[in-house]
Chain A
Amino acid sequence: MSDLTIKNLKKVFEGLEIIKGIDLDIRDHEFVVFVGPSGCGKSTLLRLIAGLEEVTSGHIYLDDKEITDIAPAKRDLAMVFQTYALYPHMTVRKNMSFALDLAGIDKKEVEAKVNEAARILELEPLLERKPKALSGGQRQRVAIGRAIVRHPKIFLFDEPLSNLDAALRVQMRLELARLHQELNATMIYVTHDQVEAMTLADKVVVLNAGRVEQVGSPLTLYHHPVNRFVAGFIGTPKMGFLKAKVESVNAGGVLVSLSCGHQVEIAVKGEHLQRGSRVTLGVRPEHLRITAASDSTFKAKLTVSEHLGADTFCYVETADQEVLTVRAAGHFQMKFGSDIGLELDVQQCHLFDDQDRTLARITTPL
């Protein structure tokens, strides 16, 4: 068992509240990813869990045992650092066995555990090398190995892939997913890269300015963001936002007019909206379509398009200088500066009120 529960956790550092009261439940075997922009407090939260930072107020429980006040080494956690933090003067073997040696564990047992970890991570041929003689990916694996040998209840990862090059990052990502399967362990993973979050997580925790914005599975966050921040943060290219004004609130949804005058009805509940109040319409690139300028009242100009092969991402600018991204087919060709028309997939659009909260969808019975 390894369930982690966090209750009303706060961290004040030099008068600044970095963590502003966080509640969180992490279940056994879950792969949880903390994601958010830099400075959102995700690393601090991880370090609070690890015990490397002192909690200002609140509680952390591991399997109903409070660990808020326990020394880091005694929390049954292991951490993999962004910089790997390998001991440069020790061999790979020594790096992995250091914690066990300190704990005074029998030499044979230590050896067995190190060998087991080395086997899992394919580090056997490197055991006698020093970290200096390893590549970035190998160092990363040693850092993970150092965590594995301790059989911790929870693995903590602090942006572990951010120092690797792009290709290696993809490979290590897969390896981490495999490791999670193989070890069947609880893992908490911090990243600013939402692709990592989407691909690895069972559960994503989106943090912003010291608060949890939303917790959920990757697809929940993608399709049902609770607010504009999550909507904009999850997904690449980003969701586009358009200023809009409420025209009328009907049983079937909310009718809004965009700044260009184009009107759309979105199937969301808008009882508390007033006619004329400001809202924001959010639309993902795949829910926009480019048409001939004459076919739509929603007009824009094509500024740049990026050809990725399978897809083309077109950056368009509305008359009101709002920039949207449109996903088009790979063979899409059009001159920059051309006038175009846009078509929205209204079923998939999101509407945010003036507090940037997502308005709930009206689920139409099929």
Chain B
Amino acid sequence: MLTLKQTRQLRTFLLGSLAWIVALLVFFPIFWMLLTSFKTELDAFSSPPQLFFTPTFENYIQVDSRSNYFHYAMNSVVVSFGATFLGMLLAIPAAYSMAFFETKRTKGTLLWMLSTKMLPPVGVLVPIYLIFKDVGLLDTRTGLILIYTLINLPIMVWMLYTYFKEIPKDILEAARLDGATPMQEILRVLLPISKGGIASTLLLSLILCWNEAFWSLNLTASSAAPLTALVASYSSPEGLFWAKLSAVSTLACAPILIFGWFSQKQLVRGLSFGAVK
């Protein structure tokens, strides 16, 4: 017979092992992608797939010359940061005013903002495409920045709103009594206090922009195409460059994956519109 303590230890061990197995299974595709990126194209396509091989950095070395990686990466960076910056510029004042000058309409406005997320992108694809074509925004970074700002704005406002809501009103009132103007209130009191919330909102927006793959595939061709589009170009059947695909994919995903790891807890709030903390 096992003692109570032994049973507990055994249980912990079994459950822990199970959790590890599940986690490794879930992570396996990413691991496999990483592994393949170090294979030669021949190894990558061999059957059965090889776990052991002579690693090569060839795919990474060639990544730019073969697929113009940096052009796409630059587009991703500019578009993601641009949209995030613009979104913050709009969202911070909106969230501030909704959190601290709540009116009867505030809740309604927030829910309405959320509802714009319900609008399926295909519903507006045609007009946006035509408008962009007419004003010359097709395949431009500016065009993508505008779209990304709009689709992420509700999430950013919600996320900042929930963070701002947690700041005691007293502190801002104290600042007001101390003679701060609304601008000083935001810049010198509100933003420094909610650094953490601001940072996670920034991160979430970056992640969402970086991985967005509807508008980027439909509104760009080459000059403004971000990494999502570059990877998609590997789907064409004419070449079986799986190792190179893996290298490009790894490079495209690594920064965001690391961002995601670091901010997983805070992201929950934004992704759930503040409903899960």
Contacts and interface: CB of A to CB of B under 8 A. Distances in A.
A–B contact, 8 Å CB criterion (strictly below): yes
Interface in A76-117: 77-79, 81-89, 98-99, 102-103
Contact of A85 (B173, B179, B180, B195): B173
Nearest to B195: A89
A87 B171 contact: yes
B170 interface: yes
Interface string B169-205: 0110111111110001000110011010000000000
Chain B contact residues, majority secondary structure = helix
A87 B175 contact: yes
Nearest to B191: A89
B170 A73 contact: no
A83 B168 contact: yes
Contacts of A83: 168, 170
Contacts of B184: 102
B105 to A, nearest CB: 14
Contacts of A52: 173, 176-177
A50 interface: yes
A202 B193 CA distance: 39
Contacts of A235: none
A150 B177 CA distance: 11
A79 B179 contact: no
B178 A85 contact: no
Contact of A98 (B168, B173, B178): B178
A88 B193 contact: yes
Given A83-B168, A86-B171, A103 B177 contact: no
A79 B184 CA distance: 19
Nearest to A83: B170
Contact of A72 (B168, B177, B189, B195): B177
Nearest to B170: A85
Contacts of A86: 171, 174
Interface string A31-69: 000000000000000000011100000000000000000
Contact of A102 (B168, B180, B193): B180
Interface in B101-129: none
A89 B192 contact: yes
B271 to A, nearest CB: 26
Contacts of B174: 79, 81, 85-87, 146
Nearest to B167: A88
Given A83-B170, A102-B184, A89 B193 contact: yes
Nearest to A85: B170
B171 A50 contact: no
A299 to B, nearest CB: 53
What 10 pairs between A and B have smallest CB-CB spacing? Answer: A85-B170, A99-B178, A73-B179, A85-B174, A89-B192, A81-B170, A102-B179, A85-B171, A83-B170, A72-B177
12 contacts: A72-B177, A73-B177, A74-B179, A83-B168, A83-B170, A84-B170, A85-B168, A85-B170, A85-B173, A89-B193, A98-B188, A102-B178
Interface of A: 50-52, 72-74, 77-79, 81-89, 98-99, 102-103, 146, 150
Given A73-B177, A86-B171, A102-B179, 16 more contacts: A52-B173, A52-B177, A72-B173, A85-B168, A85-B171, A85-B174, A87-B193, A89-B192, A98-B175, A98-B180, A98-B188, A102-B178, A103-B179, A146-B174, A146-B178, A150-B178
